[in-house]
Amino acid sequence: MSDNKNTGFRSLLHRSLRELGSRRMYLWAMILVPLGVAFFFLSLMHEGLPERVPTAVVDMDHTSLSTKVTRSLSSQQYVDITQVLADYHEAMDKVQRGEIFGFFYIPRDFERDALGETGATITYYTNLTYFVPGSLAYKAFKTMAVTSSGAIVQSELTGMGLTPSAAGTLLQPIVIDTHSIGNPWLNYNIYLSNSFLPCLLELMIFLVTAWSICHEIKTGESVEWLRAADGSMLKALAGKLLPQTVIFTIVGLAIQALCFRYNHFPMNGSWGALTLATILLVLASQSFGVIVSSAMPNLRLALSLCSLTGILAFSVAGFSYPVEDMYGAIGIFSYILPIRYYFLIYIDQALNGVPVYYSRLYFVGLLCFPIVAALLSRNLRRFCLRPTYVP
């Protein structure tokens, strides 16, 4: 009897493999798109930080002090003073044309006022419509404003008779050293690729799972599919999805290898835990596809709902903006997405390297998806037996 069951499952597997081979779309959606986008991300941001932000200086003073400030601004790591402009209006025009992301404004009589009684005011403008270059320019400008002010105070203090080192301490009596744990280079590639690439994999798994199930119903072949599985919905699903699980897992682990092995992203914790998380992400995402297909066994609606959740996942899973700071009614949706749990495991394991114990609940979260899917698949069986296609 077990022999008979075996051949049944084998023919089911054979059926799914034939299906995967019959459409070029599967090759695209399962392998080429996830790996292609991985290549795109890793190549796009391989420098880690977009250095040399194009910026400008408006020097209304033209004295030795203002020239000194301009020169030391040019030596800052993150900015590139591409132009020295005549006035504020010209600089603003360049910002509006997108040629520069900010400018540093040295007013008229800057040297006289700075060294005299009145004091001078430097202003700097950064364009935050592009967040990364804008904030890098801001950082460089602020550092410059503080250090040029400091240099003058220091020379004043030594003029009062203090030693240069005492003046230096007095200038900056307290230093807060900020240590960025796990990503000391503030590398954008590490930060974005590790979250966006698994999220894209999740999206493609959602779509392929929903497609391969609901397409059976669209063409009316679901009856034959169920018969090949001896009428068991779970067996039919297993036979259809297992080959996809294998392919997606290989693709997921390949992306993981690209990130951590080839690009040497920080990996401070357990390799085993992260590998397990990738496998569970694949299973949970497939289960999500099954859940959606069971709730809405219509190809177009299932794919629409999978797209909606899969695309919103990039925002609502909290890769860039923390879930804790979203409105509660919105943030809660992040926990219906497998990627949220994977992301939290990745942070614990790869970035922070904390004991696996602290990630235990996230693994449980991922395991909930297959259970819910198995429970809901009874609904799917009904529709597979009486397939109706609604465009």
Partner 1 sequence: MNNPITRWFKETARVWSRELRLIFSDAGMLLFFFALPLVYPLVYTLIYNPEVVTDIPVTVVDNSRTSASRELTRSIDATSAIKIVGYATSLSEARRWQAEKRCYGILVIPEDYARDIGRSEQTHVDFYSDMSLLLRFRTFLSALTDVQLATGAKIRAQKMEAAGLPASEAPISSEAFFLGDAEQGFASFIIPGIVVLIIQQSMILGIAMLIGTSRERRRRNGGIDPMAIQASPSATMAGKLLAYMVPYLPMSVYALHYVPLMFSLPHSGSMTQYLPFFLPMLIASAGFGLVISEIFVKEREMSLMVVVFTSVGFLFLSGLTWPRYAMHPVWQWIGNCIPAVWGVEGFIRINSNSATLAQNSHPYLMLWLLSAIYWTIYWMMLRHHRAKKLF
- For residues 167-196, which are near partner 1 according to CB under 8 A? 168-183, 186, 188, 191-192, 196
CA distances from 5 to 1, 8, 13, 234, 344 (A): 6, 5, 12, 14, 40
Q: Does 1 help bind partner 1 (rule: CB under 8 A)?
A: no
Looking at this protein, which amino acid is placed at residue 304? S
Binding positions for partner 1, 275-314, rule CB under 8 A: 299-300, 303-304, 306-307, 310-312, 314
Looking at this protein, which amino acid is placed at residue 337? L
Binding positions for partner 1, 221-280, rule CB under 8 A: none
User: Six-digit token pair at 294?
Assistant: 């069971």
Q: Does 119 help bind partner 1 (rule: CB under 8 A)?
A: yes
Q: Does 363 help bind partner 1 (rule: CB under 8 A)?
A: no
Q: Which is nearer to partner 1, 299 or 373 (CB)?
A: 299
> Closest distance between partner 1 and the C-beta of residue 252, in Å?
15
Q: Which of 315, 367, 370, 374 touches partner 1 (CB under 8 A)?
A: 315
Looking at this protein, which amino acid is placed at residue 377? S
Q: Does 328 help bind partner 1 (rule: CB under 8 A)?
A: no
How many residues touch partner 1 under the rule CB under 8 A: the total is: 112
Q: Which of 15, 20, 41, 340 touches partner 1 (CB under 8 A)?
A: 41
Q: Which is nearer to partner 1, 139 or 235 (CB)?
A: 139
Q: With both helix axes pointing from N to C terminus, report the angle between 271-295 and 299-316 in degrees, rounded to the nearest 10.
A: 140
Q: Does 98 help bind partner 1 (rule: CB under 8 A)?
A: yes
User: How far apart (Å, rounded) are the C-alpha atoms in residues 237 and 322?
Assistant: 36
Binding positions for partner 1, 330-349, rule CB under 8 A: 330, 347-348
Contacts of 289 (CB under 8 A, 6+ apart): 205, 206, 207, 208, 209, 210, 213, 302, 306
> Closest distance between partner 1 and the C-beta of residue 2, in Å?
38
Query: How many residues in total does the chain contain?
Result: 391
> Closest distance between partner 1 and the C-beta of residue 275, in Å?
20
User: Six-digit token pair at 7?
Assistant: 């051949």
Q: Which of 115, 223, 234, 267 touches partner 1 (CB under 8 A)?
A: 115
Q: Which of 12, 85, 200, 229 touches partner 1 (CB under 8 A)?
A: 200
User: Six-digit token pair at 302?
Assistant: 């299932």
Report residue 55: phi and psi, to 5°. -140, 175
Contacts of 245 (CB under 8 A, 6+ apart): 282, 283, 286
Residue 167 has, within 13 A of its CA and on its CB side, a CA count of 15
Q: Which is nearer to partner 1, 134 or 243 (CB)?
A: 134
Q: Does 319 help bind partner 1 (rule: CB under 8 A)?
A: yes
Q: Which is nearer to partner 1, 119 or 272 (CB)?
A: 119
Q: Which is nearer to partner 1, 211 or 369 (CB)?
A: 211
User: How far apart (Å, rounded) are the C-alpha atoms in residues 248 and 57?
Assistant: 51
Q: Which is nearer to partner 1, 141 or 369 (CB)?
A: 141
3-state class (DSSP) for residue 286: helix
Q: Which span sits near partner 1 by CB under 8 A: 205-213, 272-280, 286-294, 365-373?
A: 205-213
User: Six-digit token pair at 101?
Assistant: 């992301």
3-state class (DSSP) for residue 172: coil
User: How far apart (Å, rounded) are the C-alpha atoms in residues 375 and 308?
Assistant: 23
Q: Does 130 help bind partner 1 (rule: CB under 8 A)?
A: yes
Binding positions for partner 1, 140-159, rule CB under 8 A: 141-142, 145-146, 148-149, 152-153, 156-157
Binding mask 68-87 for partner 1 (x = CB under 8 A): --------------------
Q: Which is nearer to partner 1, 188 or 363 (CB)?
A: 188
Scored b (16 or more CB within 10 A) or e, 167-202 reads beeeeeeeeeeeeeebbeeebbbbbebbbbbbbbbb
